[in-house]
Structure 1
Amino acid sequence: MRAATAGLRLGPLLRHIDWETGTTATVWVETDRHCTVEIPCANGAHGSATTFRIAARHYAVVPVGGLRPGSTTTYEVLLDGHRVWPPPDFRFPPSTITAPPVPAPGVTVAFGSCRQAPHPVGDGRDGQDALGPDALGALALRLAADPGAARPDVLLLLGDQVYADEVSPATRSWLAARRDLREPPGPQVRDYEEYTRLYEESWGEPGVRWLLSTVPSVMIFDDHDVIDDWNTSASWVAGMRATPWWHKRAVGALMSYWVHQHLGNLSPAELGTDPLLAAVRAAPDGTAALRTFAERAETDPDSVRWSFRRDFGRTRLLMLDTRAGRSLADERRRSILGPAQSRWLDEQTPAARGAYDHLLVATSLPWLLPPLAHELESWDAALCRGERGGPGGPWARLGERLRRRFDLEHWPAFPRSFDGLARLIARAGGGPGAPATVCVLSGDVHHGYIAEPRWPEGTGPEARVVQLTCSPLHNTLSRTLRWAFRLGWSPAARLAGRALARHGRTGRPPVRWERTGGPWFGNQLMTLTLRGRSARLRLEQVGPPGTGLVTVDERTLTPPPDGSGTRGGPGR
């Protein structure tokens, strides 16, 4: 009897494109058995790799070489010589790899966060989704309908690619068939195998699957990729580690993140020198090696750096992990970035070297929040470190309860980190050869807005600095929270915030800021078009079913002609 041929379980995902040479890319796949994966391209470029095994599943990250700078080529996926992609009767165009010209005149970056899997209404037969149309799905349909239309050069997914603690009805039924949901953690993901179900659900929808096969993507996690409020505080971590189910959950989360998201963030050269990947590939089953790594990453966050840098011509992207690598042990020295990651970040932003025209700092959590939210988090952090009543006193205990109850764990909840990022941006955006813009790209808060900081006169950068927050891709926000976010920018909220600052003795932050766009509510996507030293932003939201993405805001971000940048200006 002839053995069955290998099949494609998930992917392909087009991940890394080399912008320095324009000749290489990587493609990620999951297969249903051990095999050799080949990626033949129509223009003669080619790649191949043997799958590696993790927990009875098989994966490959295939380096594709021989691309021609400035060209677009279609590609296929072969497993042991048999074509499995595109599948028969696939209704989307062929998957392509576009190699940038060298030197590249610019880059177009689309970004967003917080994408839950579809939640059908009723039995789902009418196609209605409880969360509304998916922004990534709408982008896929638009690009598929017009293969000649301009596409993003890269897609930045800024956290919550999967929701381990808010599963879809279909996944809940799948979990119930697998185990007793009356046992902790109930209808949430428990281990590696259950995480793989989330990725299949999130990336398996045909339109999104085609989009991710054609538009390169870079990714970072946020809390829901693991659990809501992940790493809020030292006491939160201690409480979770005391539960009987957390260890398996946390290790499974980091293992699945390494496989599904992290590997694709690496260049072919980085893949070739990664010791863990080498160990996993060398073993008949790499599960033990990956589990050991994940256990170390969970117990010693500073031992692993998930943050990374990508250069797209003269645009530099710094993708920051603001979840796994937090330093939490000392309330007075809390940091959203651990010591090793902070040192790495300082090394990536050389001042006065003319290294890039635009700097993108991508962090799942917004740096600049509505003023009332900022002061509330700063005040709470002051209570927790004992500014009122001393460490461990009643005010500190109240602060911890409030921190967990109201998710007070963004950048302002780490005052040293907030101030440090302000200094880093001022340094990176100032001096001879400064970039034209420094854009802080964020998600998490389930709405979109633009905020612009101002430094004290004579101390700020020459670059135009903007906080661009875009969320969700596919989720929702209650009416109460919509009202609260609008209120947070009001004059009354500013006064309330100042009262909190006085009570908490928090002092003044090093920058002041104002909202210059939004808030926008709904499933949405932002796109930055960077050409030379010019920058243009477009915000699109998904309209009613059948209307696709609709532009609701478009503006130029390039600094004003007088070069005044972000020094001085209106207060917060």
Structure 2
Amino acid sequence: MAGLRLGPLLRYVDWDSGATATVWVEASRPCTVEVRCADGASGASPTFSVAGHHYALVVVEGLTPGSTTAYEVLIGSRRVWPPDGNRLPPSTITTPSPTPRDAAGAEPDPVRIAFGSCRWAAAPGGGHDPAGPDALVTLAARLAADPGAERPDVLLLLGDQVYADETSGATRRRLAARRDLDEAPGTEIADYEEYTYLYDESWRDAEVRWLLSTVPSCMIFDDHDVIDDWNTSAAWQRDMRALPWWHERIVSGLMSYWVHQHLGNLSPAELAADPVYAAVRASPDGTETLRRFAAETDADPARTRWSYRRVFGRVRLVMVDTRAARVLAEERRAMLDAEEGDWLRDAVLNDPSSYDHLLVGSSLPWLLPPLVHDVERWNAALCAGVRGQRWARVGEKLRRASDLEHWAAFPQSFDRFTELLREAGSGPDAPATVCVLSGDVHHAYIAEPRWPDSGAGSDSAPGADSAPGAGGSPASRVLQLTCSPVHNSIPRSIRTGFRFGWSRAGRRIGRLLSRHGRNGRPPVTWGKAGGPWFGNQLMTLTLHGRKSALTLVQAKATRQGAQLEAVLERSLTPESEAISGHSTEC
């Protein structure tokens, strides 16, 4: 008899019609999965099989716009969700009101978007947890305890949903039961089956499972979903491909990401047009089809697009793949390949009158603490040979040892992305805000760029193309909003280093490095508008009309258990600043 192994996860909710959603599940055996809603909406789908596991992404149709309806998951005639004896609130699907995005004078629903990244489901090694309370678990427990509390409309998970290279004690025991951990890759994940252990661990907590069943989620990978520093450089990639266990790791990582995260990012129309999804579903066993797709994608990343666009009323979200879409050849080094760059430009600039706020989800921050930015740009110049081959070799070692592979480490890509954001925030149809949402760096901060009014673009390193630039400050408020981690350790050295990175002394050191690397000036300067804050945390943007407000909460251990404490509440609209005196910089 088939049962529910993992899920349900509510993934996509259509904000155009308010009538369609998708629900992801893993069953224990091949079967047909049905989602049945209290308002009469429903959907059903047969499972597809990958590596002995059985999944379904059910398209639910006929939902009532502007409503919240409870749902059940059935296999055959048997209800498998909610489980018997369930103590948590019903899982629900909330749909937006049917207000057209372009209706003149129409009052849109507020949109609440919570985001963060870098979540250990359990501390690596299985010993004492150095991270403290998990912000996602704490949020889930709070909402489950108060069903009437205000919930996010969508949860953005901006990378490192699982850690393939840092496994917990419980996962290591499962690995040891099937192979010798003294052989590479040791306590790291080796294949698809072992990736399923990570998702089990990450999504099985009762409150988290309930939260993901009732709040829609958007996801994108970062390096730890595969391995630390994934795609740092061409030299790194050559070294990894020489390891006998790497091919299985990267293929399995892409396969598991496609199944567990990527499919749910897509709309029903995009799913229907996806040839890989059709082929996997049509096969009695889709394993080889998906393996071939993953292997071909690793060999030629440009053949697959992991980036995607979502719309929430008059809010546009563009999620950008900053890992697999890279061009690593030193002479052509870029964060995004040419086709991906063209797609991003169209996704951002097309029909600007249809949105009031533009959100760009990038797992890696665009604007870093200035010293860190200058170090990465200097290092990129060294690796490109600006100071000769000896310095290039030193630069490559430093790049890998210090994780120097953010936007700043791809200088031309940084400049182009900066110009794209300026364009998006300019013109008569400019949105109120343009925000880059990021994680990765294990602290939270707000950075605000300043464009030169004359705007001649940036000077470039010798031999590099000049950055495209029309210049001039945008009309929109442009911000880098960084929130990390959801649950991870934050060593004192990281806290000290990032604080110093924002300091005047740090900026002076950065300018010296820039001169040594013969770097030109970046097209913008920027300052810290908030933070840094350290802890397990989540940010929430509330977007209503052309107004925008930001809240940062941290999970704190108290005598009553873990609690979420608000450390920042701030308006992001240009005409006003703090809306609460509760802002605290740690």
Q: TM over 0.5: same fold?
A: yes
Q: Is 1:334 matched with 2:353?
A: no
Residue 148 of structure 1 corresponds to 148
For residue 407 of structure 1, the aligned residue among 388, 400, 403 is 403
Amino acid at match of 1:450: I
Q: Does 1:19 align with 2:15?
A: yes
Please list the CA deviations of residues 347-402 of structure 1 after superposition, one character each: whole Å capped at 9, or x if unmatched: 1122784121000010000000011100000000000001111xxx1000000000
The Cα of 1:411 is off from its aligned counterpart by: 0.5
Give the equivalent residue in structure 1 for 2:123: 119
1:113 and 1:303 mapped to 2: Cα distance?
A: 27
Q: Distance in 2 between matches of 1:201 and 1:509?
A: 42
1:90-131 deviation line (CA, Å, top 9, x unaligned): 2211100001112242311000000011239988xxxx8442
**Cα separation, 1, equivalents of 2:376 and 2:268:** 41
| Letter paired with 1:157 | L
| SS of match in other structure, 2:349 | coil
Give the superposed CA RMSD: 1.4
Letter in 2 for 1:370: P
Q: What do the CA deviations read for 1:224-250 (whole angstroms, capped 9, x no partner)?
A: 000000000001001100110000000
Letter in 2 for 1:295: A
1:382-430 alpha-carbon deviations (Å, 9 max, x no partner): 00001111xxx10000000000000000000000110011100010110
1:61 maps to: 57
Amino acid at match of 1:465: V
2:237 matched residue in structure 1: 237
Task: Quote the Cα distance in structure 2 between the aligned partners of 1:290 and 1:381.
Answer: 35
Give the equivalent residue in structure 2 for 1:418: 414
1:204-242 CA distance string (max 9 Å, x none): 111100000000000000000000000000010011001
Q: Return the alpha-carbon distance in structure 1 between the equivalents of residues 55 and 497 of structure 2.
A: 44
Partner deviation per Cα, 1:434-471 (whole Å, 9 max, x = no partner): 00000000000011000000100151210001100000
Match of 2:110 in 1: 106
Residues 275-309 of structure 1 show CA distances to partners (whole Å, capped at 9, x for unaligned) of: 11110111110011101100011110111100000
Q: Distance in 2 between matches of 1:353 and 1:341?
A: 20
**Residue matched to 1:522:** 535
1:297 aligns with 2:297: yes
Amino acid at match of 1:557: L
Q: Secondary structure, in 3 states, of the residue corresponding to 2:539?
A: strand
Deviations 1:457-515 (A, max 9, x none): 15121000110000000101110111000000110000000000000001100000000
The secondary structure found in structure 1 opposite 2:281 is helix
Q: Secondary structure at the match of 1:187?
A: coil
| Aligned residue number for residue 566 of structure 1 | none
Query: Structure 1: how far apart are the matches of 2:171 and 2:109?
Result: 44
SS at match of 2:521: coil
Query: Residue 174 of structure 1: CA displacement?
Result: 1.1
Q: Out of 470, 477, 481, which is 1:468 matched to? A: 481
Letter in 2 for 1:499: L
**1:560 aligned onto 2:575:** yes
1:560 deviates by: 2.3
1:527-572 per-position Cα deviation (integer Å, ceiling 9, x unaligned): 000000000000000011414111001100012279xxxxxxxxxx
The answer to whether residue 373 in structure 2 is matched with residue 374 in structure 1 is yes
AA partner of residue 21 (structure 2): A
SS, match of residue 349 in structure 1: helix
CA gap of 1:270–1:352, structure 2 versus 1, over 3 A, is closer
**Aligned-partner Cα distance in 2 for 1:120–1:508:** 41
Q: What is the aligned partner in structure 2 of residue 91 from structure 1?
A: 87
Give, in whole Å, the separation in 1 of the partners of 2:77 and 2:499. 57
CA distance in 2, matches of 1:261, 1:475: 21
CA contact (8 A) 1:118 1:131 kept: no
- Report the CA distance shift for 1:122/1:254 in structure 2 as closer, same or farther (over 3 A): closer
Q: Distance in 2 between matches of 1:62 and 1:130?
A: 38
User: Is 1:227 paired with 2:240?
Assistant: no
Structure 2 residue 50 is matched with structure 1 residue 35: no
Alignment of 1:490-529 (within 5 A): 490-529=503-542
Q: Deviations over 1:303-340 (max 9, x none)?
A: 110000001111000000000110111x2321111111
Give secondary structure in 1 for the equivalent of 2:557. Answer: coil
**What is the DSSP-based 3-state SS (H/G/I as helix, E as strand, rest coil) of the residue aligned with 1:240?**
helix
Matches within 5 A, 1:174-213: 174-213=174-213
Find the aligned partners of 1:507 and 1:119 in 2 and give their Cα distance: 42
Letter in 2 for 1:431: G
User: Which residue of structure 1 aligns with residue 103 of structure 2?
Assistant: none
Whole-angstrom CA distance in 1 between matches of 2:549 and 2:39: 33
For the pair 1:551 / 2:551, whether they are aligned, the reply is: no
What SS does the corresponding residue of 1:83 show, helix, strand or coil? strand
Aligned pair count? 550
Find the counterpart in structure 1 of residue 361 from structure 2: 362
Q: Give the counterpart letter for 1:113 in structure 2.
A: S
User: What TM-score do you get using the length of structure 1 for normalisation?
Assistant: 0.95
Q: Would the aligned equivalents of 1:364 and 1:442 in 2 still touch at CA under 8 Å?
A: yes
CA contact (8 A) 1:71 1:100 kept: yes
**Alignment correspondent of 1:434:** 430
Residue 543 of structure 1 aligns to a residue whose secondary structure is strand
Residues 44-67 of structure 1 show CA distances to partners (whole Å, capped at 9, x for unaligned) of 010100000001110000000000
Is the 8 Å Cα contact of residues 351 and 427 (structure 1) preserved in structure 2? no
Structure 1 ranges of 4+ moved more than 6 A: 120-123
Q: Which residue of 2 aligns with 1:565?
A: none
Matched AA of 2:545: G
**Alignment check: 8 A CA contact 1:352 1:430 kept:** no
Tell me the distance in 1 between the aligned counterparts of 2:433 and 2:390: 45
What is the distance in 2 between the residues matched to 1:263 and 1:121?
A: 31
TM-score relative to the length of structure 2: 0.92
Contact preservation (8 Å) 2:126, 2:170: no
1:48 is matched with which residue: 44, 51, 54?
44
Query: Do 1:353 and 1:432's aligned partners in 2 also have CA atoms closer than 8 Å?
Result: no
* Contact map agreement 1:106 1:314 (CA 8 A) in 2: no
Contact 1:333 1:416 in 2 (8 A): no
Distance, in Å, in 2 between the alignment partners of 1:351 and 1:560 is: 27
* Amino acid of the structure 2 residue aligned with 1:550: E
Q: State the SS of the aligned residue for 1:354.
A: helix
Alignment of 1:302-317 (within 5 A): 302-317=302-317
Amino acid at match of 1:552: V
Paired amino acid for 1:498:
R
How many percent of aligned residue pairs carry the same amino acid?
65
Aligned equivalents of 1:395, 1:539: Cα separation in 2: 42
Query: Contact conserved, 1:121 with 1:129, CA < 8 A, in 2?
Result: no
Point out the more displaced range, 311-320 or 544-553. Answer: 544-553
User: 1:361, 1:441 within 8 Å by CA — same for their partners in 2?
Assistant: yes
Helix, strand or coil: the match of 2:138? helix
Q: 1:560 to 1:352 in 2, by over 3 A?
A: farther
Counterpart-to-counterpart distance in 1, 2:83 and 2:513: 59
The change in CA–CA distance for 1:209 and 1:141 in structure 2 (over 3 A counts) is same
> What code does the residue aligned with 1:294 have?
A
One-letter amino acid of the counterpart of residue 209, structure 2? R
User: Per the alignment, in what secondary structure is the counterpart of residue 348 of structure 2?
Assistant: coil
**Would the aligned equivalents of 2:125 and 2:168 in 1 still touch at CA under 8 Å?**
no
Q: Do the aligned residues in 2 keep the contact of 1:11 with 1:29 (CA within 8 Å)?
A: yes
What residue identity is the alignment partner of 1:377? E
